[in-house]
Amino acid sequence: MEAENYSEELDVAVRVVHLACSLCQTVQEGLVSASSDHVKSKDDDSPVTVADWSVQAMVSWILSEHFGSQNVSIVAEEDVETLSNPNSAGLLDVVVTTVNKCLAEAPKFGLKKPAKTLGNSQVLNAISRCNSSGGPTGRHWVLDPVDGTLGFVRGDQYAVALALIEDGKVVIGVLGCPNYPMRKEWLNYHHEHYRAMTESLLPSPHSWDEGCVMYTRRGSGKAWMQPLIHGNETLEWPNFAKSIQVSSIDDPALATFCEPMERANTNHSFTSGLAHSVGLRKKPLRVYSMVKYAAIARGDAEIFMKFATAGYKEKIWDHAAGVLIVEEAGGVVTDAGGRPLDFSKGMYLEGLDRGIIACCGVPLHDKIVSAIFASWDSSNL
Ligand SMILES: Nc1ncnc2c1ncn2[C@@H]1O[C@H](COP(=O)(O)OS(=O)(=O)O)[C@@H](OP(=O)(O)O)[C@H]1O
Ligand SMILES: [Mg+2]
């Protein structure tokens, strides 16, 4: 039966995402106490951190050890060029140290650690092995080592996203949300008070309470959430797993919609007009990263919309894990034309019609898609 497949893959994926969250938390704490060595610029000027490379190296190493490197194809965000440049020697040292420190903790998470610490070339190899471009056939892991890099460097929300695609379909989705606590009250609290209180101040990661890891398997009709582990705790399955479900709200007046924080990543004025025409009354909730999918999946918000500027091609690693978790938790995710997202075309969501709409259920989703149909011509997207 389909729902029983992939248990070993899911088990390893959840554990490795827990380990990656722990790595990210340590690095984010370091960032908050400010070391500019930890931030580099990518071509597109978005911040790239030690955590990006270290998570990618670590996840690649664990998956290859577990399943055999010849069986593991990984599509991931970071390439190895910047890091293998001799000018980046200092940064590479920090990454290698971070990876080894993290892997030393692997047994706490039920994973195997290396017999000897990894050297520079092993770490670079692990990163460069993630050079698959996916496609319509075979198995491909899809990793966003730190999704929401802006949120990460600002001490705010970010996610570690790992998915498995088989023959073009997402079959496993795991989303680590280190600053997104298990408690539902967080969203209101965050929205109303937290950002205002901390506008000029980077928060200490400890003030967020513990984060969570969400996961699912295609066809299970279920999605789960586990708390992160702390200190000397060990990850004992099922680690207090709680089943999660989308919200049952279908009245737009009661619904909350979330969208990207940054104007550069979505068209806020278009979504604001759309929200008005559909009857959404609440202020949009702007959150960095795939935590937006997490919020829909567990019923903290009802709608997620993202409309990138024309010409921007959405990458599969920014959506694969989140989409499956929302769908299995009872939600609907499509492009703006109402079609499912296509993960079979390589690293991009080729053919995506305008934007992405994730909803807790069909009635709200229909309303949004109809409103887009009605208002598109008059918009200046
Ligand atoms: N121009 C443009 N338009 C749309 N999307 C873009 C664009 N540029 C980048 N990206 C990708 O979007 C990811 C961030 O999306 P978010 O929803 O997390 O946005 S936001 O941080 O809340 O503003 C972001 O993921 P990360 O790089 O992991 O942060 C990018 O992959
Ligand atoms: Mg991303």
Q: What is the pLDDT of residues 269-302, one digit of tens each?
A: 999 999 999 999 999 999 999 999 999 999 999 9
- Give residue 338's pLDDT: 98
Strand order in the sheet with 285-286: 285-286, 257-259, 303-306, 356-359, 332-335
Burial of 15: CB neighbours in 10 Å, binned 0-12, 13-18, 19+: buried
- List beta partners, residue 215: 174, 224
Residues 214 and 294 occupy one common structural domain: no
51 domain-assigned = yes
State the pLDDT at residue 43.
38
Q: Is 164 in the same domain as 224?
A: yes
Final residue in a domain of this structure, among 222, 244, 266: 244
Q: Which of 49, 149, 266, 334 is catalytic?
A: 149
- On the CB side of 257, how many CA atoms lie within 13 Å of its CA? 31
Domains contained in the chain, number: 2
List CB-based neighbours of ion ligand 2 within 5 Å. 144, 147, 318
In short, whether 189's Cβ falls inside 6 Å of ligand 1 is no
Q: What is the pLDDT of residues 258-270, one digit of tens each?
A: 999 999 999 999 9
Lowest mean per-residue pLDDT among 32-36, 94-98, 203-207, 377-381: 203-207
Cβ neighbours of residue 87 closer than 8 Å, sequence gap 6 or more: none
For the stretch 338-352, what's the b/e string if a residue is b when 16 or more beta carbons lie within 10 angstroms of its beta carbon? beebbbbbbbebeeb
Quick one: which of 8, 63, 10 has its CA closest to 218?
10
What Cα–Cα distance (Å) separates residue 51 from each residue in 29, 54, 151, 354, 356? 11, 5, 13, 31, 27
CB 313 near ligand 1, within 6 Å: no
Q: Do 206 and 57 have their domain in common?
A: yes
Same domain? For 300 and 365 the reply is yes
Q: What is the pLDDT of residues 306-337, one digit of tens each?
A: 999 999 999 999 999 999 999 999 999 999 99
Q: Which of 53, 265, 317 to mutate to test the pocket of ligand 1 (most atoms within 8 A of CB)?
A: 265
205 and 191 in contact (C-beta within 8 Å)? no
Closest to 173 measured CA to CA, from 44, 22, 358? 358
For residues 23 and 55, is the Cβ–Cβ distance under 8 A? Answer: yes
Query: What amino acid is encoded at 3 in this protein?
Result: A
Residue 232 belongs to a domain with what CATH number?
Answer: 3.30.540.10
**Residues 190 and 156 reside in one and the same domain:** yes
User: CA torsion, points 30, 33, 35, 38, in degrees to nearest 10?
Assistant: 30
Domain that holds residue 336: 252-378
The closest of 229, 66, 165 to 58, measured between CA atoms, is: 66
CATH of the domain at 303: 3.40.190.80
Say if 104 falls within a structural domain.
yes
Paired strand residues for 162: 143, 174
- Minimum-distance ligand 1 atom for the alpha carbon of 148: 29
Same domain, 169 and 46: yes
Q: What is the DSSP letter of 194?
A: I
Q: Is the CB of 97 under 6 A from ligand 1?
A: no
Q: Is residue 231 part of a domain?
A: yes
Q: Is residue 160 domain-resident?
A: yes
Q: Do residue 55 and residue 93 come from a single domain?
A: yes
| Interatomic CA distance for residues 273 and 300, integer angstroms | 22
Assess whether 153 and 41 both reside in one domain: yes
| 52 among known catalytic residues | yes
Asked if the structure places residue 87 within a domain, the reply is yes
Partners of 48 in the β-ladder: 40
- The residue whose CA is least distant from atom 19 of ligand 1 is 260
309 among known catalytic residues:
no
**Of 201, 207, 220, 199, residue with least CA distance to 178:** 207
Mean pLDDT, the chain, whole residue set: 89
145 in the same domain as 284: no
pLDDT digits (tens, 9 = 90+) for 32-91: 555 445 454 443 333 357 999 999 999 999 999 999 999 999 999 888 898 899 988 888
- Distance (angstroms) between ligand 2 centre and the Cα of 289 equals 7
Residues 268 and 147 in one domain: no
- How far, in Å, from the CA of 206 to the mean position of ligand 1? 25
| Residue 2 within a domain | no
Looking at residue 44, its pLDDT comes to: 34
Q: Which of 194, 228, 244 is the last residue of a domain?
A: 244
Q: Are 219 and 256 part of one and the same domain? A: no
Q: What is the CA radius of gyration of the chain?
A: 20
Residue 348 is classified by DSSP as: B
With H, G, I as helix, E, B as strand and everything else as coil, classify residue 2: helix
3-state per-residue secondary structure call for 130-142: CECCCCCCCEEEE
For residue 276, what are its two tokens? 């008005």
Q: Does 197 reside within a domain? A: yes
Q: Same domain, yes or no, for 270 and 218?
A: no
* Ligand having the closest approach to the CA of 151: 1
In angstroms, the CA 103 to CA 26 distance is: 13
Instruction: Please list, in sequence order, all residues whose beta carbon lies within 8 angstroms of the beta carbon of residue 15, skipping any fewer than 6 positions away.
Output: 109, 110, 111, 235
Q: Which residues contact 229 (CB under 8 A, 6 or more apart)?
A: 18, 22, 108, 109, 235, 239
For residue 33, what are the contacts with CB-CB under 8 A and spacing of at least 6? none
Residue with the bigger pLDDT between 29 and 83: it is: 83
**Whether 225 contacts 176, CB under 8 Å:** no
Write out the binding residues for Mg(2+): 77, 144, 147, 318
| 1 assigned to some structural domain | no
